Amino acid sequence: MAEKESKGTELEVFKGKKADLTHAILQILSNEALVKYDVHKRILGQGFKDTHYGTVKKKIKILEETGYLEQAGVRKTQPGNESILYQATFKALAALKLKTIGLDDLFRQMDEETASDLLALLAQTKTQHQPESKAKRK
């Protein structure tokens, strides 16, 4: 059977175990800031019937640690406690967009100023990873 071709760019955040859950969480939190409990309720409503609340909590924690989610304030919950509101970062929004478009499309629409900014970011990223890659060789 032929594998379905994806138009978008596959990023590490959307690979691995529960990648579809990660995508759903980012998609939900790109629309509005919610507490973990509300994210879990929306996840269940999207067909992730066997997804436990603890799994959603862990995913949100990982996504926050990796810069895809950020705290957006607090909200009183029904029991009277305060819970943290989470929202998608610009990094998450960019990752979601890259998932739907290909790099060729991106480069077709890119102007010189944007290309210059991208080149500077790529150069910065390369220099940040050089010492790490040398350490792995030893």
What does the domain layout of the chain look like in residue ranges?
12-101, 103-138
Closest CA to 24 of 7, 9, 44: 44
Q: What is the pLDDT of residues 75-109, one digit of tens each?
A: 988 878 899 999 999 999 999 988 888 788 888 99
- pTM of the predicted model, to two decimals? 0.75
pLDDT, averaged across the chain: 85
Closest CA to 46 of 24, 66, 68, 63: 24
Which two structure tokens, joined as six digits, stand for 126?
């390369």
Dihedral in degrees, nearest 10, Cα atoms 48, 84, 33, 10: -60
Q: Is the distance from CB of 35 to CB of 24 less than 8 angstroms?
A: no
What topology is assigned to 12-101 in CATH?
Arc Repressor Mutant, subunit A (1.10.10)
